[in-house]
Structure formats: C-alpha cells, structure tokens
Structure 1
C-alpha cells in the first residue's frame, strides 16, 4: 500500500503583496505587544488627556466666550473636538518618533533590515500600531467628553465619519513622527523635538479659541492650519458649536480640506521616511 504524497505547502514569493502584508502585521503586533508590556505608558496616555479635559471643562470654560454661543456648556461642546484632535496629534507623533528613535538607537532597525522582510514593513507597522492605540485613546476620550456634557447631534454615520477623519489625521502625523525618529540621534532628542512643531500646530488653531479673535497674521495661519481643518470638520459632523457660515475657503469646506491635508502629509512624510530608512542602511 502506497501512501499518497502530501500536497505541497504554498509559499509566498519574496516580493509578493501577501508577504509584505504579513510582515506589516507582524511588526504591528510586535509594537502593540511591547506597549502592552509597559502599562505605565498606557496609563499615562489615557490619564493625561482626561485631566486636561476636566481642567478646561470645569475651571477654564467660564473664562472663554464664543461668537454666537455663550455659556460654559457651549464652550465644552466647542472644545471637545479640539481636544480629540490635540490628543491624537500629541499621542501619535510623540509615540512614533520616540519608538522609532529607540529602535534606531538600540540597533533593532539594523536587525530588521538584515531579515528577508518587506523593506517598508517596519515603518508601516509602526504607524498602524499607533492607529490602534489612537482608537483606544479615542474611546476613553469620548466617555470623558460625555461626562462633561459633550453630545453628538447629527447621527451615528456622521459621527463615524468624524472619528475616521481624526484617525486619518493621526495616521498622517504618525509618519511625521517616524521621520523625526529616523533623523534624530537619541530618543530624548525625539521627545524634545516634538514640542517645536506640535505646540504651534495645536494652539495656533481653532481648537480652543475662535480664529476671529486672533490678530490678522495669526488668524490666517489658524484658518489654514491642517489641525483647524480637521477640528472644524469634526465640529460640523458632530453638530457642535463653532460651525460658521461664510469666512475663508478652508472654513467653508473643512471636510475636503482635512482630507487633502491628511493625504498630502501622509504621502510626503511616507516618502521622506522611506528615503531616510534606505539611506541609513546604505
């Protein structure tokens, strides 16, 4: 009696899209597992934005006034989309830059580069892991926002589109963080360099104050700020105060401007990160 030969196990070609996807998922899982094993990072990432929300909602809300919307409750609904965007921006860019700088400093990027894996898997896996972490942070932020009086007024579908815009913006900024992590020489430098661009990006915007209250030059910068477009689009989709008729072109078309900014930033930063990664291995 002859035993039939076992069917050959299909293998993935070295350059196949399926193998590249598998490599990306492996790196994504590796980054998430490393984060889970450091619970202090998770706790700080969740607690810090909640503390800021409570401070602004119950201490500073009465000191701010909005054109056409008065009272602390109106400002709480106005500020929450700004806090969503700010939290995503800070958490994503900082985590990407510091984690990537750690991998470079410890020699992990050289080890991954020597393995038979997709060339861009290490970078893409880093940004996808950040997107997963952002989703968890967003859930906590929404629960905190509901506690301070924030509400969704335009239905579930439009709210889902708003959260998608926030995550897309975070994904784009994570590529900026990857570029910084591949450029600096130490993780400490990556952490410090984020403040140089994240603070102007978040505070020189419509996240917490109406741009109409700013001087002319600062108002123009805030109106064309990528974060302002996302915040304005999210407010429009949620139905929160801050949606205005007229004004500059970005204010009238915030969803389109937000999508455009996120795609341009992601594509540009991805190209720069890939070039930097290849140059480091040359």
Structure 2
C-alpha cells in the first residue's frame, strides 16, 4: 500500500518554518502517545536538528500505561525531555513548561548572567489531529488556536505571547511527502491523522482488527462480545463484529462499512481500552 499525502499548505508551512528557525529557542513536538514513532515528523526533526527538543506524549490517557512508561524511559535514555499530557482535559500542560526550561537551562543561565530577560521562543509542531491546538489553547489560557477533531484545522502560522515570558509559534499540522513504511501510514490512519478518504475504510478497519486481535485480544473481544477469534483474518473479525452489533442488511449480509466505521471511531475514542500501537522494542528507532 503506497500512501502519499502532501497538500500545498503543508509545503508552504514547511518553508515558513525554515524561515523562522533562527528565531526559535526550543522545539516542542506534540506526539500521539499511542504512536510516538509514527507521529514524529522526520522532516521537522531534520529541519530543527541541533535545537533543544521536548516531546509531549499527548493522549496518554488512551495509551497502554505500561508501554507509555517504556517510551518515557526511552526518551530519557536519548536525552530528550519528555512529558505526558491529555491536552483535551488540560493535564500535563504545566509539566511541559518545566521541561522546556530544563531543556534551555544553560541558555537561561547564560542570559541571566548577562542581565538579559528575553522571551523563550517555542516552535510547537505536530502532525494533524495530534492535539497541538488544544495544547496551545490550554497553555495560553484561551482559544487562540483553532481546534477540531479532524486533520487540517489549523491553516496558518501565528505567534502567541504568554504571560510567563514565553512566545509560541503555532503552525498547521504537517505530514511528510510519502510514507515509505506502510506501518507508519496505517498507524497515522488508525489514529485519525490522515483524512479517512485517503485509505479505504474497510481495509483500514480490517488491519486494525487484526492488530487488536493479536495484541489486545481480551479488550477487543470484551468490547464486541466476541469468542474464539484466534487465527481469524481482519475481514472475518470485522464481519463478526458487525453481526454482533446487528449490522445485518438484506440477504443476511453484514454492513461492513458501518462495522468498520464503528471500530475506527471507538478505537480513536478509547472505548475499546487503553491501547498502544508501538513499543520501543518493536521498531528500530532513534530520537532525532
């Protein structure tokens, strides 16, 4: 499966970020705690190489707690400041500010010795629908950034000045031109960072059902009252789910599209349970 997704506004945003990099002190990248690798934009990492970085694992309330602890250890071992957050509810926001100051400790100390009190300029980055605008709104204390439950809500750059000597550069969520790794594309699609029209909904649901059945079978079966699912393929699982939910159409066939939408919606909302799609030991990853 070859997934390509690079609208014009994303290319424009990349150019604008490159133009403003010299003003930036630190990069705060909002990541999805369920997919820390797939939601890390390699283009942002490359563009901002050498800048101090803070990783905010958002939607931590939806991720597997045990796996999230592994990710926190992983980032710390790679000398990256990391915090957990639920930006929709405002949890973990203040901790990220403390992490920014730790990442800039040397610079802040040098400025203080010189009698300088300049604002900390932060680039807030993240892929679409990862919670970046919710993070900024919580941090600024008001609705300064557009918020939505779909990718592509924020469409223009804006500087936001906070009361505590911090200035944020908000940018639209951007993806990179092409997903070389199919798994990355699938993970972004599972969590809603790619518009649903890009990948066939039924195919996506089948892939997700297979993952859940292999890795979180107890939660998956409990949610949909399924039994004896070992070894079943994705199509069979979605069909079984639809039958259990009563999505039967004329001729006794199952409405697979309806069943697929239910599975994706309930996964994204955390109704199946706390699930992580990526673990540090599963992938050969590095923190840029």
TM-score by length of 2: 0.23
Larger Rg: 1
Q: Which has the larger share of helix?
A: 1
